[in-house]
Every structure is written in structure tokens, then in C-alpha cells.
Amino acid sequence: MRDVAILSFAQTPYKRRESERTEVQMVLSVVTDAVEKSGLPKSDIGFTCSGSSDYLAGQSFAFVGAIDGLGAWPPIAESHVEMDGAWALYEAWIKIQTGMCNTALAFSFGRASMGSLPETLNMQLDPYTLGPLGIDSISMAALQARAWLDQDNHTERQMAEVAVRSRKNALNNPDAQLKGDFEVEKLLSEPYLIEPLHKHDCPPITDGANAVVIAAADAVPSGANPVWIRGIDHRIEPHQPGFRDLTQSPSTKLAGEKAGATRLDIAELHAPFTHQELILRDALGLDDDVRINPSGGALAANPMMVAGLTRMGEACREIWAGRAKRALAHATSGHCLQQNLVCVLEGD
């Protein structure tokens, strides 16, 4: 295995609607920023991989259009995953492991505000038997929350506590979208959005883009502040939700074990819904002394296709700021935590 480090992270401010810049301009700004912070000349980047979904803009080949933001001339080695940017980083990491390159750029972007996100996410379901029922992503999460609440005396209060902590933590995150001091009692007294989910159990809809630069140990420039990827693994569960125990996350558990998720100071968990954070904590066996989502997590800003890679960036920020030595970053994809990636990061 080659040791690989994250050198830099850049993001747009996450907001409900990006009304000043096109996707391509968003990509240009984060890519330029991440490359600059990495200390590597742009021409040294050996491979580029992006994560996005054309369904968000409703435009075919939007992911190809985004390459215009790279200044890809002379032509570059490039790839794309129709997944969160965390998986773009994974592909870039694999590429470095194969020896095909020594440095790589991973970026992701999503402008979900152009469509109706819960309905758009229905497109992730099997198109023959489940998708045509018209179920949206919030209803899917509500099914999961109901199953979870029905177990082990779990309560809606525990879920509301996750929302309160997330949005309180986000007060320290200038790029977060939803932040503030909320009271559990008050949140619980509000009407359900889709029972048993309240609005506070659900993520905001967010526009945003981000980018990271990674490098093999021998390609880390002098003066860099590398955060080492000590382990990275992703696992997937069946596509049909009916095949799964939605109250557990065996794919996260296994990915965590493979990635060596122990002795952690913080964990950035990509849990768009409150109960999902509790399922993830359980799957990863996180002790109470592990700080969860100091950035506010996906409940404070959830740019689709971007929020997973953001967890890695936020974990790096904690390490760069000296607030953590060893961190876990998690990303999820699909309905009800279908697929999960765990990455363990450590400072120099």
C-alpha cells in the first residue's frame, strides 16, 4: 500500500440557492482554491475525478460540462462517478495505489435547488417495481425511522437532540447553511413533516461544490500539511430496502472495521436524517468521548453529491486546527444508508 495524504480542501459557502454562479463557475472556484492550497502546480495533478448527478440540474452530460471549469488543456486524465464526491476521492486513491499517478484532484458539485430533490431521489430506486410507486426520499427515511423507533425504547427525543447539537455545532462553521440554538421541547412540539419525521429530522436542500487534492507520500510538496488516509473502505447493501434491516448499518460496520476506525477523536458522519446518525454511531461503536460532527454535519448543510466529501474536508479541518489527531469521515449514498464509505484520517 502507498501512503496517501489529503493536502487541501476547498468548498463554496453552502446555501439554499446558489444564485450568482453556474455549476462550472462553482467548480472553477473550488478547484482553483484546492490546487492553490495544495502547494502543487496545477500541471502536476496526475488524475482528476468528479462526483455529481445529472438529475440534479436535469441536464444530460452536466458532468462533462463541469470539466470546462478545470482548464483541461492540454487534455487531462479524468473520470467521473455518479456518486458523492467521497467516492471520487476513493477512485483517485485507488489510481494512486495502482501507481498510475502520484497526485490527484477529486471534486463534486450539486445544485439541487433547480429541481425537487425528494422526488428526484426517487430515481435511485429500481425503476420497475419500487420507483413507480412514487415514494420520495423523505418517505423512505421515515420508513427507516419508524423501524428504528420501534426498537430498544428509541425515542423521537433522541433524534431531536441530534438536530439541536448539529445546528449548534454549525454556529462555528461559517460555510454551514442551517445553524442556531434550538430547544428540543420546542422542536418536538412542531407538527410532523412525514411521520415520524419532523422537519428538524431532515436535512436542508443545499447548493454547493467542493474539492480535495491528494498525493502519495513521495509526491507531498515541502511545506505541505498532509492529513494521512490511514484506511478507506466502502461497502454496499441490497438495492431493495425490503431485503435489509433498516435499523442497522452492517455495511458501515464492516467498512469501519476494514478502515481501522478505532482510537478516534472526532467523527464526521454523513447522516442526512437524525436517526441515521444514531444508527451510524451504533454501527461504528463510537464511544461518548468521540466528538460527532463538529461542523454541524449534513443536518446543517446537505449539498447532494457533495456532503460526503465534505465530511473528509471537515475532518481535515479539525486536524489542521489541532483539535483532533485521528478522525473518522463517513459518506453515504442511496436511500436509508444503502452504501457507506469510511475513511480514517490522521495528522502528520
- Give least dist CB 162 to another protein, A: 30
Which span sits near another protein by CB under 8 A: 126-134, 162-170, 216-224, 241-249? 126-134
Burial of 320 (0-12, 13-18, 19+ CB in 10 A): middle
Closest separation in Å from C-beta 29 to another protein: 9
Residue type, 279: I
The CA–CA distances, whole Å, from 148 to 189, 309, 347 equal: 21, 27, 36
Residue 189 CB contacts under 8 Å (≥ 6 apart), including other chains = none
- Counting contacts by CB under 8 A, is residue 24 touching another protein? yes
Residue nearer to another protein on the CB measure, 45 or 269: 45
SS3 129: coil
Q: Provide the minimum distance between the beta carbon of 168 and another protein in the complex, in angstroms, as a whole number.
A: 33
Q: Does residue 22 interact with another protein by CB under 8 A?
A: yes
Nearer of residues 55 and 148 to another protein, judged by Cβ = 55
Give the whole-angstrom CA distance, residue 346 versus residue 316. 8
20 binding another protein? (CB under 8 A): yes
Q: Does 131 bind another protein (CB under 8 A)?
A: yes
Residue 70 sits in the site that holds another protein (CB under 8 A): yes
- Annotate each residue in 144-183 with x if it binds another protein (CB under 8 A) or - if it does not, as one string: ----------------------------------------
Residue 269 host element (H or E): none
Rounded Cα gap, residues 152 and 31, in angstroms: 46
Closer residue to another protein in complex, CB, 29/225: 29
68 near another protein, rule: CB under 8 A: yes
Stretch that binds another protein, among 16-24, 155-163, 191-199, 335-343 (CB under 8 A): 16-24
Residue with the three cell numbers 487534492: 213
Q: How far is the CB of 249 from another protein (least distance, A)?
A: 29
Q: What whole-number distance in Å separates Cα of residue 106 and Cα of residue 40?
A: 14
d(CA 218, CA 133): 52
- Beta carbon nearer to another protein, 134 or 285: 134
List the x/- string, 305-324, binding to another protein by CB under 8 A: --------------------
The beta strands (E) that lie in 20-163 are given as: 48-51, 78-81, 103-111
Q: How many CB atoms lie within 10 A of CB 217?
A: 13
Any contact of residue 36 with another protein (CB under 8 A)?
no
Helix (H) or strand (E) holding 208: strand 207-216
Residue type, 54: D
Residues forming contacts to another protein in the complex (CB under 8 A) are 19-22, 24-25, 28, 31-32, 42, 55, 57-58, 67-73, 114-116, 119-120, 123, 127-128, 131-132
